[in-house]
Amino acid sequence: MLQVEGLTKKFGGFTAVDAVSFSVPQGEILGLLGPNGSGKSTTFNCIAGMLKPTAGSVRLAGEEIAGLTADESCRRGIGRTFQIPRPFRGLSLLENAMLAAHFGAGGHIDKPEAERRARDALRLAQLPDDPQATAHGLGAAGLKKLELARALATQPKLLLADESLGGLDTGEMRQAAEMLKRIRDERGITIVWVEHIMGVLLSVVDRVVVLDHGAVIFKGTPAEAQDDPKVAEVYLGPPETRAA
């Protein structure tokens, strides 16, 4: 579904993402991990069209999408959530999701179809779809669900989930992880999930790519990641500095 090859992003003379390559088959959940500043968001933003790569290729279902704008990427089938949810607080949850549905369809759907897509997305994210429900009073977990519903309402082939666990307590993190897994299981949506913490993510992803200083240092299963000395080093520091 997604093939990233030699993806490179430079900011002036600084290389934030350095020839990163990985692929994600249809229906897989890939965890993109790495410590702060390792290049996860920059990689993510190059795939989602928020940043133009300096070099490399990004293919979605075989089509080159590197360098497209965020709007074009969304219309090609990339849905994304944002780390910091910014819903339209004056609108109902349903209206928020309907706007996303219109956006994803490039304005080419009528109101009943946008409403159908919006209700379906809200139900998938376990939010109320009645027209009275608003974003007022939604806590961190509710706002993350709304973020997910808005991305799902664009009917993505590939869902890019950005730090979906930030600000959640342990129970909410587990529920958020289970929700992504259920969405993949029920709809077959391919997911790339970016987090800087490993924890609960490892229990639901199929494979993991770990970045450090902009480069891929590990690709493999969650179990292999937990046993990998390079992964331990970037997360925990060199062995001699770790507590016994």
Residues binding ligand ATP (CB under 6 A): 11, 14, 16, 34, 36-42, 196
In this structure, what token pair is assigned to residue 139?
């806590």
Q: How far is the CB of 39 from ligand ATP (least distance, A)?
A: 4
- Decide whether 115 or 212 has the Cβ nearer to ligand ATP: 212
Residue 94: CB atoms within 10 Å = 24
Q: Which residue lies nearer to ligand ATP by CB, 41 or 190?
A: 41
Minimum CB–partner distance for residue 15 and ligand ATP (Å): 9
Using the minimum distance from each CB to ligand ATP, give the nearer residue, 84 or 223.
84
CA nearest neighbour of 234 among 207, 214, 210, 206: 210
DSSP H helix total and E strand total for the chain: 8, 10
Strand order in the sheet with 190-194: 78-80, 158-162, 190-194, 29-33, 207-212, 215-220
Question: Least separation, in Å, of the C-beta of 37 and ligand ATP?
Answer: 4
* Alpha-helical regions (H) of the chain: 40-48, 70-76, 93-104, 111-124, 140-152, 170-187, 222-227, 229-236
Residue 39 or 77 having the CB closest to ligand ATP: 39
- Which residue, 34 or 77, has its beta carbon nearer to ligand ATP? 34
Closest CB 99 distance from ligand ATP, rounded Å: 27
Q: What span, in angstroms and rounded, lies between the C-alpha atoms of 48 and 58?
A: 10
CB of 177 to ligand ATP, least distance (A): 18
